[in-house]
């Protein structure tokens, strides 16, 4: 099929590359000329494992191209994806200005030569499918008033569930595909588009193997409104699940229980499931905060105050503050101390810094007069560009970061941090204090390496406590 993808960010670039890999003919559009120039040179504009290779494969067989103007591609396409950003407004409401501009331009580019489906992949509040339909129609009426009755299109909502860092695998081997639409003709186009994914009859690309036992992907077809709601409900649930793990971890610290043990114990319950139960410095990223706020806002528009969603936001904000408290407990005064952040990206394997806990922690430390240093394997360039206001000293390596620091805070659990020589790090620090914000290290090993170690939901020394109780 001929496909246009509008927006070449984390979702659009991956969607375009994967659909082209599956054999569709894709044009990716972005209003940002520098992004299009880089993509034309074969350079991804984001860090995402395997994306560069997939784009190269697609380009080599003529399956993908890039443009700043959507008119020609839209006119030639059967399916037009909208994958532009929908960031939060100060009220928490989703900012739909990019979506609205894209929808109008799509309408203006349509003619009567074929039936087209406009697919909303951006995360948008309930009711936005109707809005897209209205805007496309207005675009048609402005550009081709005489032909408007003969120009046919359908609107589908096809929320995206990929995770940055594993976006290619998540797109090629999804848990499910959700498609909402009002008419059969639109759904039939979507079913045809996703047939290779549903049937899993394509050869996996190098480095991204198909999970064992995966034969078919369920396609859930719903109304437009349900599809939009599914995306928000999924993100709200995941944010709440992490928030729950953090709440329990905080109580574990008080009562002397080991949170990782507790999470293993509850995660083995098939009704609960083990994933998204790791206590830490709180969730971040471009989606959870924005989407929970947007859902709260939508509920409020209907006179419903969702206390559970509000609590998810509050619990997460408090969790980020826990790191500061732990540093205060160890260092007492933060003014003039040097704190090294291990990791900046909101999670490993991405350079995305949107709503990253590291930035919040750095801001608070700087406000309190501390000096902040940071090392991240990938996200330092993005941090320099996006947050020049933060006076962070960027370091060449974890060892450089540790040098003369008063404390280290592990913020992002990059795989390379697992293998750090903790003894060598502790040796060069002014005070060997380690706040392990992701429970990455074994407490005993970190202490044996010379660190004064604190994790999340891990009481100081449960073994010592037990020994004392037994002696008493």
Ligand X SMILES: NC(=O)c1ccc[n+]([C@@H]2O[C@H](COP(=O)([O-])OP(=O)(O)OC[C@H]3O[C@@H](n4cnc5c(N)ncnc54)[C@H](O)[C@@H]3O)[C@@H](O)[C@H]2O)c1
Residues identified as active-site: 287
| Of residues 259-298, those binding ligand X (CB under 6 A) | 286-287
Give residue for tokens 């010379």.
450
Q: Tokens at residue 333, please?
A: 């005064």
Could you say which of 74, 80, 107, 160 contacts ligand X (CB under 6 A)?
A: 160
Closer residue to ligand X in complex, CB, 27/122: 122
Shortest Cβ distance from residue 394 to ligand X (Å)? 23
Phi and psi for 71 in degrees, rounded to 5? Answer: -60, -55
Shortest Cβ distance from residue 40 to ligand X (Å)? 14
Closer residue to ligand X in complex, CB, 5/401: 5
Decide if residue 32 touches ligand X (CB under 6 A).
Answer: yes
Closest CA to 196 of 208, 204, 185: 204
Decide if residue 227 touches ligand X (CB under 6 A).
Answer: no
HEC string of 85-150 equals CCCECCCCCECCHHHHHHHHHHHHHCCCCCCEEEEECCCCCCCHHHHHHHHHHHHHHHHCCCCHHH
Shortest Cβ distance from residue 206 to ligand X (Å)? 23
Closer residue to ligand X in complex, CB, 45/278: 45
Shortest Cβ distance from residue 139 to ligand X (Å)? 12
Closer residue to ligand X in complex, CB, 98/276: 98
Q: How far apart are CA 240 and CA 219, in angstroms?
A: 25
Q: How far apart are CA 53 and CA 63, in angstroms?
A: 14
Candidates 3-11, 176-184, 250-258, 292-300: pick the segment binding ligand X (CB under 6 A).
Answer: 3-11
Q: How far apart are CA 11 and CA 58, in angstroms?
A: 17
| Of residues 161-180, those binding ligand X (CB under 6 A) | 162, 164
Shortest Cβ distance from residue 15 to ligand X (Å)? 9
Decide if residue 8 touches ligand X (CB under 6 A).
Answer: yes
CB 238 within 8 A of CB 202: no
CB 335 within 8 A of CB 327: no
Residues in contact with ligand X, counted by CB under 6 A, come to a total of 26
Closer residue to ligand X in complex, CB, 162/242: 162
Distant-in-sequence, close-in-space partners of 80: CB < 8 Å, separation ≥ 6: 3, 4, 6, 70, 74, 106, 116, 117, 118, 119
Decide if residue 9 touches ligand X (CB under 6 A).
Answer: yes
Q: Tokens at residue 380, please?
A: 């330092």
CB 323 within 8 A of CB 281: yes
Could you say which of 3, 26, 58, 84 contacts ligand X (CB under 6 A)?
A: 84
Closer residue to ligand X in complex, CB, 242/435: 242
Decide if residue 346 touches ligand X (CB under 6 A).
Answer: no
What is the DSSP secondary structure assignment for residue 198, as one 8-state letter? H
Decide if residue 83 touches ligand X (CB under 6 A).
Answer: yes
Closer residue to ligand X in complex, CB, 3/29: 29
Shortest Cβ distance from residue 8 to ligand X (Å)? 5
Candidates 10-18, 49-57, 331-339, 399-407: pick the segment binding ligand X (CB under 6 A).
Answer: 10-18
Distant-in-sequence, close-in-space partners of 220: CB < 8 Å, separation ≥ 6: 176, 177, 178, 179, 230
Shortest Cβ distance from residue 101 to ligand X (Å)? 4
Decide if residue 11 touches ligand X (CB under 6 A).
Answer: yes
Q: How far apart are CA 286 and CA 407, in angstroms?
A: 28
Decide if residue 12 touches ligand X (CB under 6 A).
Answer: yes
Closer residue to ligand X in complex, CB, 80/257: 80
Decide if residue 7 touches ligand X (CB under 6 A).
Answer: yes
Beta bridge partners of 339: 372, 407
Give residue for tokens 């995966």.
214
The secondary structure element, H or E, covering residue 372 is strand 371-375
Candidates 53-61, 98-106, 421-429, 442-450: pick the segment binding ligand X (CB under 6 A).
Answer: 98-106
Could you say which of 2, 52, 65, 98 contacts ligand X (CB under 6 A)?
A: 98
Candidates 26-34, 298-306, 357-365, 422-430: pick the segment binding ligand X (CB under 6 A).
Answer: 26-34
Angle, vertex CA 408, rays to CA 407 and CA 414, nearest 5? 180
CB 38 within 8 A of CB 77: no
Closer residue to ligand X in complex, CB, 72/268: 72
Distant-in-sequence, close-in-space partners of 214: CB < 8 Å, separation ≥ 6: 173, 200
Could you say which of 4, 77, 88, 122 contacts ligand X (CB under 6 A)?
A: 122
Q: What SS3 state is found at 391?
A: coil
Shortest Cβ distance from residue 196 to ligand X (Å)? 21
Decide if residue 101 touches ligand X (CB under 6 A).
Answer: yes
| Of residues 352-391, those binding ligand X (CB under 6 A) | none
The secondary structure element, H or E, covering residue 338 is strand 338-342
Interface positions with ligand X (CB under 6 A): 6-12, 29-32, 35, 83-86, 98, 101-102, 122-123, 160, 162, 164, 286-287
């Amino acid at each position: 099929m001929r496909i246009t993808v509008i927006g070449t960010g984390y979702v659009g670039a991956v969607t375009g590359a994967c659909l082209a890999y599956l054999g569709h003919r894709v044009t990716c559009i972005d209003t940002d000329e520098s992004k299009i120039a880089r993509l034309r040179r074969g350079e991804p504009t984001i860090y995402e494992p395997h994306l560069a290779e997939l784009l190269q494969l697609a380009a080599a067989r003529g399956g993908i191209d890039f443009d700043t103007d959507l008119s020609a591609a839209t006119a030639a396409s059967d399916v037009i994806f909208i994958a532009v950003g929908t960031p939060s407004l100060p009220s928490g409401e989703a900012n739909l200005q990019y979506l609205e501009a894209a929808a109008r331009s799509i309408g203006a580019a349509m003619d009567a030569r074929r039936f087209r489906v406009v697919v909303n992949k951006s995360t948008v509040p309930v009711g936005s499918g109707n809005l897209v339909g209205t805007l496309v129609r207005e675009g048609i009426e402005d550009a081709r008033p005489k032909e408007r009755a003969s120009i046919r299109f359908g609107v589908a909502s096809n929320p995206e569930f990929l995770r940055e860092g594993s976006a290619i695998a998540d797109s090629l081997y999804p848990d499910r595909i959700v498609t909402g639409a009002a008419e059969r003709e639109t759904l039939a186009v979507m079913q045809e588009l996703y047939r290779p994914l549903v049937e899993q009859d394509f050869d996996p690309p190098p480095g991204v193997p198909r999970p064992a036992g995966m034969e078919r992907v369920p396609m859930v077809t719903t109304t437009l409104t349900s599809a939009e709601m599914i995306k928000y409900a999924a993100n709200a649930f995941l944010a709440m699940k992490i928030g729950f793990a953090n709440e329990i971890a905080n109580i574990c610290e008080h009562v002397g229980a080991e949170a990782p043990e507790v999470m293993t114990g509850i995660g083995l319950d098939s009704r609960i499931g083990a994933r998204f139960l790791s206590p830490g410095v709180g969730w971040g990223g471009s989606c959870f905060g924005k989407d929970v706020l947007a859902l709260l806002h939508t509920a409020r528009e209907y006179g419903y105050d969702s206390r559970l969603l509000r609590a998810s936001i509050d619990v997460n904000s408090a969790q980020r503050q826990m790191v500061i408290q732990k540093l205060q407990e160890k260092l007492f005064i933060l003014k003039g101390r040097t704190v090294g952040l291990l990791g900046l990206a909101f999670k490993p394997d991405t350079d995305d810094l949107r709503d990253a806990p590291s930035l919040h922690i750095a801001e608070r430390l700087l406000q309190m007069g501390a000096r902040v240093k940071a090392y991240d394997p990938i996200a330092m360039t993005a941090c320099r560009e996006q947050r020049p206001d933060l006076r962070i000293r960027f370091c060449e390596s974890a060892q450089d970061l540790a040098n003369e620091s008063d404390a280290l805070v592990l913020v992002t659990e990059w795989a390379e941090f697992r293998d750090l020589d903790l003894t060598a790090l502790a040796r060069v620090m002014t005070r060997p204090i380690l706040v392990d914000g992701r429970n990455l290290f074994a407490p005993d090993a970190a202490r044996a390496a010379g660190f004064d170690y604190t994790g999340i939901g891990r009481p100081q020394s449960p073994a010592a406590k037990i020994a004392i109780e037994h002696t008493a």
